[in-house]
């Protein structure tokens, strides 16, 4: 890919105002604050307002990232949106975002259904596009998971939250350098997290819709947990090895925020102290493809990243997909 320097020009995020506590979930399902806290570390999550949609949130995060980069919408050359919760199936969210943002008639496309790994997969593609000569790419991760998932299923409902976050990347001398990105997939594990009803395999029936089947996530939590720890750790090791650095050189790890226990297990597997991991899962729950950029946005906002720091991003998602990235600030 030559010596072209690809860097992070701006980071932005958008969080819906409404905060939903664990206690509030007890009004909908048989659960408790103790159970959710002990098993996941989650205390609260944000819930999109009625009438607030995926596109509204994506555009708000994009404007925040543009502001951070000191750029106008017409200075963006490509848009990639990653989401499992589009407002409509066709066309993709990227088309809506391109228009609402006031961007030029540039390529805009979406990655969907790769779960929480989607954002770093998109970053991998965006980085390659910049090496190819595209000037600036806007990458947005956005989820309104509160509308996708059943509010009657305690196994999954309490885990998720709504959010959007965005990066702007491009060639240049300013901003954190994206040193490397790695990604992989093991499609033999599609069984551990799936929404089966609603696609071409099992189109909606009235009966199933009435029973809420279209919002039913099949999840093998324990298997997912194990795969998540293994794949996030492996991806982290691969990206630092490719960059010729070691785990000791890493100032901060920004992992996918699915579950505090998963993050603790990754820290243990990598033999790194937990205080090197940025954690905000207690505030927002699992926000899918928005999770990693939201965490990086908050870590930087909180002054946890200094110039020269090596920051490692690592994630996993349904599929089973995983991806990691290494940045030098």
Ligand X SMILES: CC(C)(COP(=O)(O)OP(=O)(O)OC[C@H]1O[C@@H](n2cnc3c(N)ncnc32)[C@H](O)[C@@H]1OP(=O)(O)O)[C@@H](O)C(=O)NCCC(=O)NCCS
Catalytic site positions: 116, 256, 286
Shortest approach of ligand X to residue 4 CB, angstroms? 33
Round to whole Å and give the CA distance between 41 and 34: 10
- Measured in residues, the chain has a length of 329
Between 68 and 143, CB nearer to ligand X: 143
Shortest approach of ligand X to residue 159 CB, angstroms? 6
Between 242 and 282, CB nearer to ligand X: 282
Instruction: Give one DSSP letter per residue of 64-119, joined into a string.
Output: HHHHHHT--GGG--EEEEEES--SSSSS-HHHHHHHHHT--S--EEEEESSGGGHH
Residue in the structure block whose two tokens are 């607030």: 52
Between 20 and 179, CB nearer to ligand X: 20
- Cβ proximity of 83 and 112 under 8 Å: yes
Residue partners of 254: CB distance under 8 A and separation at least 6: 277, 278, 292, 295, 296, 299, 311, 312, 313, 314
Round to whole Å and give the CA distance between 1 and 237: 21
Shortest approach of ligand X to residue 116 CB, angstroms? 4
Kindly report the number of other CB atoms within 10 A of residue 188's CB atom.
Answer: 7
Between 12 and 41, CB nearer to ligand X: 41
Shortest approach of ligand X to residue 91 CB, angstroms? 25
Between 116 and 240, CB nearer to ligand X: 116
Shortest approach of ligand X to residue 157 CB, angstroms? 7
| CB-based burial, 255-277: b 16+ in 10 Å, e otherwise | bbbbbbbbbebbbeebebeeeeb
Q: Residue 49 has what DSSP assignment?
A: P
Kindly report the number of other CB atoms within 10 A of residue 312's CB atom.
Answer: 29
Instruction: Give one DSSP letter per residue of 150-177, joined into a string.
Output: -TT-TTTGGGB-EEEEEEEEEESSSSEE
Round to whole Å and give the CA distance between 139 and 154: 32
Round to whole Å and give the CA distance between 99 and 54: 14
Between 18 and 39, CB nearer to ligand X: 39
Shortest approach of ligand X to residue 312 CB, angstroms? 19
Between 98 and 157, CB nearer to ligand X: 157
- Cβ proximity of 43 and 19 under 8 Å: no
In the complex, the residues that contact ligand X under the rule CB under 6 A are: 31, 35-36, 39-40, 115-116, 154-155, 158-159, 193, 221-222, 224-225, 258-259, 286, 317
Shortest approach of ligand X to residue 119 CB, angstroms? 12
- Cβ proximity of 290 and 281 under 8 Å: no
Name the residue with the smallest CB distance to ligand X.
Answer: 221
């Amino acid at each position: 890919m030559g010596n072209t320097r690809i860097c992070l020009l701006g980071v932005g995020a958008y969080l819906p105002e409404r905060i939903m506590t664990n206690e509030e979930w007890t009004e909908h399902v048989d659960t408790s604050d103790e159970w959710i806290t002990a098993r996941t570390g989650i205390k609260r999550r944000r819930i999109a307002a009625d009438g607030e949609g995926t596109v509204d949130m994506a555009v708000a995060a994009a404007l925040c990232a543009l502001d951070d980069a000191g750029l106008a919408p017409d200075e963006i050359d490509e848009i990639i949106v990653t989401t499992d919760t589009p407002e409509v199936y066709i066309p993709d969210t990227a088309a809506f975002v391109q228009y609402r943002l006031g961007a030029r008639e540039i390529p805009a496309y979406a990655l969907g259904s790769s779960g929480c790994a989607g954002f770093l997969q998109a970053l991998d593609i965006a980085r390659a596009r910049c090496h190819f000569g595209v000037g600036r790419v806007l990458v947005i991760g956005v989820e309104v998971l509160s509308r996708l998932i059943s509010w009657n299923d305690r196994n999954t409902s309490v885990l998720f939250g709504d959010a959007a976050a965005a990066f702007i990347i491009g060639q240049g001398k300013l901003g954190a350098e994206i040193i490397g990105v790695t990604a992989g997939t093991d499609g033999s594990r599609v069984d551990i997290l799936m929404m089966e009803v609603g696609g071409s395999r099992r189109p909606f029936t009235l009966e199933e819709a009435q029973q809420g089947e279209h919002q039913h996530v099949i999840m093998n939590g324990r298997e997912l947990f194990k795969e998540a720890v293994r794949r996030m750790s492996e991806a982290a090791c691969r990206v630092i090895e490719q960059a010729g650095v070691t785990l000791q050189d890493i100032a901060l790890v920004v992992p996918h925020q699915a579950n505090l226990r998963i993050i603790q297990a990754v820290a243990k597997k990598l033999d790194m102290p937990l205080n090197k991991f940025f954690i905000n899962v207690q505030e927002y729950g699992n926000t899918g493809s928005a999770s990693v950029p939201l965490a990086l946005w908050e870590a930087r906002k909180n002054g946890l990243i200094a110039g020269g720091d090596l920051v490692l991003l690592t994630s996993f998602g349904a599929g089973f997909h995983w991806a990691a990235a290494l940045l030098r600030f």
